[in-house]
Structure formats: C-alpha cells, structure tokens
Structure 1
Amino acid sequence: MPVRRVTVVGEEVLRVPCREVTEFGTPELSALIDDMFLTMYVADGAGLAANQVGVGLRLFVYDCPDDHGVRHTGHLINPVLDRVDPADRRLVEEFEGCLSVPGATMTVPRVDRTVARGFDKDGNPLVIEGQGYFARCLQHETDHLAGRIYLDRLSGRDRKEALRQMEARIEGVLALRAEKAARPGTPR
C-alpha cells in the first residue's frame, strides 16, 4: 500500500465534481481504499476524499470520532446526504481543517446531524448517521466530491486568513507527513 500525495488547494482536481463509481468489488477499488486509509493516517486526517489523492471518483474514507468519543471508521462510495428536518438539527460553528489546505483551521458553519447514503466497495447499500464532529466530517468529505472545499464556506476575509495560515505552515506540515510516511510500521 503506497502513501499517495495529497492534493493541495489550487489543483484543478479538487474543483471538478467527481464521477460516480460504477464498478464495485474490483481489486483496484479495494487497493484505492487501502491506499486512502494509509494516506489519511500518515497525514493525521479524520477523512479523505478520492480527489484529494488525485482520483476523480465519488468515494471517501473516514476514521472519525463523534462528540461522545465513539470512533467511526469506514468508507462510502457515491454518497448523498439526506435532507434533515430543521427541527432535528442545528447549525454549529466550529474549527475545521483540511488535508488539502495544510496547516490552516477556520471556524466553519455545519449542521450537527446528517445522514449519508451510499455503497460499500462491494456495492452493498450503506446508511450512515453522523452527529457532532462526525456529521461535520461526512459533510466535509461529501463537499470534496462535488468539487468544493471548506474555504468556499468562508467569507473572503476568512478565506484569505486560511490561505495565509497555510502559506506560513505548509513546509512544516508536509515535512512531518514525509517523515511519518518514511517510518516503518503502522502510521497511526
């Protein structure tokens, strides 16, 4: 399983809506998912979309806790977020980062509950309900697959601040990722 290079804001693949996965159960799809998990762990992420490793497919992986400390790990192919009744959710502004905007974190509004529907690598249907931080992760990764990044949800001023943070920290972040990738054994 190779660690793949994580794309960075400004690369076109992050802005193009991803294609639906049409072939399930293939060794190539399984290998991509395995590579994405390894890459996410090396980069210290909670989620990673396929276009973040340069592959334009509607797929993401995650290893993310919710607000109660329950760890959720898996992958979702061709995800669609259900509309959640406004009475059953609230908008929460919390800090959010992105592996493709290395070193930057900004406050981003997201709903605190979401339901994602899609498929596993074998084509079996999945329904995943997320609350709190895990709901944020599901929304963030689904945005990626539509060609959006969290910077798109910020004001112009906050977007400039996030890019300034990235510029100041990117070398250090990428050096740490390279160091971690070079270590033998499990990255997390």
Structure 2
Amino acid sequence: MAVRTIRLFGDPVLRAVSAPIDAIDDGIRSLVQDLLDTVELPGRAGVAAPQIGVGLRAFSYNIDGEIGYVLNPVLAEVRGEPVPVGEGCLSVPGLWHDALRHPWARVTGVDLDGNEVVLEGEGLMAQALQHETDHLDGMLYLSRLAPDDRKRAMREVRESAWF
C-alpha cells in the first residue's frame, strides 16, 4: 500500500486514546499493510496507528529482522522493576532519553483472521511492546522520563527545527 507520514509531537491524534477495532474489513487490512510498509524503513522498531494519523488500536513492529503487527493489543504482563532505557520516538525526531521500562513484556491481541497473537520478549522487544501500547493509550515516551529529563526534553522539542 504505502509508507505513511509520521505524525509529530503536538498532533492531537498522538494524545488521544485509540479506539478498539470492532470489525476487520478492507480498511483495516489496508491500515495493517500501511503499518507494515511504514515500519520496514531502516531504524524503525515500531509504528502505532496514531503515528500515521489513525486512532485505532493497532501497531507494527520490526525487531531483529522480524516484522509483524497486532490488532487490539493489550499489555498483558510485564516483569522486573522498571529501569532507565535509552529511547527515542519517530513522533519526537532527534531526541533520545532514558525512559523507565520493564525488562520483559507480553502483549496479546489478534491478527487479520481473528486469531490470537501473543508477542513477548525482553530487551528491545519488551521496550517496543511497552512503547507502542503507550501510543495507543495516548502517551508519548516523554511522559515516562524523570522530571528533570522531561523538562530538558521539552526544551529540546521547543528548540527543534520540526516543532
């Protein structure tokens, strides 16, 4: 289908809670293909539907060469105490800060055929699962920064060329 433009910090769709997908139709199949096409670009670990302007609960991922998607994902389980992990976001380009993330995570959802999907892992996979489900809940990783880091990050956003 198409590589879609990433919405940037300040776009209201990034702050809204995404709606569940009630029916899988041609529009949802097209959305999934766009999410997959968009996440395939180098340097991308995940793309949530709100990042391409669609307020529905879906995201794609590209972790260690494995590319996929999940519809109606739920962060079902996390393990371990949250630790600071270097993180960036396509919707906040050029910034990199330590966000608090659990070292292991599991997401459950469905695929286009309505079959259950379970994604789990540690490291980058755990981080991506938490990051992308945050997007679906209207949260950017900046909200997970320590107060002083968040203040510095917001200054960097205001001073950025894209803002």
Check whether TM > 0.5.
yes
Is the contact between residue 21 and residue 71 of structure 2 (CA under 8 Å) also seen in structure 1? yes
Deviation string 1:108-164 (CA, Å, 9 cap, x unpaired) is: 110111111110122111111121111000000000000001001113431232244
- Correspondence for 2:91: 100
- Correspondence for 1:15: 15
Question: Partner amino acid for 1:94?
Answer: V
- Correspondence for 2:61: 62
- Residues matched between the structures, number: 162
- Correspondence for 2:82: 91
Question: Partner amino acid for 2:11?
Answer: E
- Correspondence for 2:107: 116
- Secondary structure (helix, strand or coil) at the match of 1:83 reads strand
Larger helix proportion, structure 1 or 2?
Answer: 1
Q: Does 1:140 align with 2:131?
A: yes
Alpha-carbon distance between aligned partners in 2 of 1:53 and 1:156, rounded to the nearest angstrom: 28
1:14-93 aligned within 5 A = 14-24=14-24, 26-42=25-41, 44-65=43-64, 71-84=65-78, 89-93=80-84
Alpha-carbon distance between aligned partners in 1 of 2:160 and 2:94, rounded to the nearest angstrom: 5
CA-based RMSD of the aligned residues comes to 1.9
Q: Structure 2: which 5+ residue stretches go unaligned?
A: none
Is the contact between residue 103 and residue 165 of structure 1 (CA under 8 Å) also seen in structure 2? no
- Secondary structure (helix, strand or coil) at the match of 2:97 reads strand
Is the contact between residue 91 and residue 109 of structure 1 (CA under 8 Å) also seen in structure 2? yes
- Give the TM-score of the pair, scaled to structure 2: 0.89
C-alpha spacing 1:81/1:99, structure 2 compared with 1 (3 Å): same
Q: Does 1:153 align with 2:152?
A: no
Q: Which runs of 4+ in 1 moved over 6 A?
A: none
C-alpha spacing 1:45/1:168, structure 2 compared with 1 (3 Å): farther
| Identity percentage of aligned residues | 41
Is the contact between residue 103 and residue 170 of structure 1 (CA under 8 Å) also seen in structure 2? no
Is the contact between residue 86 and residue 98 of structure 2 (CA under 8 Å) also seen in structure 1? yes
State the shift of 1:39 in Å: 2.0
- Which shows bigger deviation, 95-104 or 36-45? 36-45
State the shift of 1:35 in Å: 1.3
C-alpha spacing 1:112/1:104, structure 2 compared with 1 (3 Å): same
Question: Partner amino acid for 1:9?
Answer: F
Question: Partner amino acid for 2:10?
Answer: G
Question: Partner amino acid for 1:11?
Answer: D
- Give the TM-score of the pair, scaled to structure 1: 0.78
- Secondary structure (helix, strand or coil) at the match of 1:30 reads helix
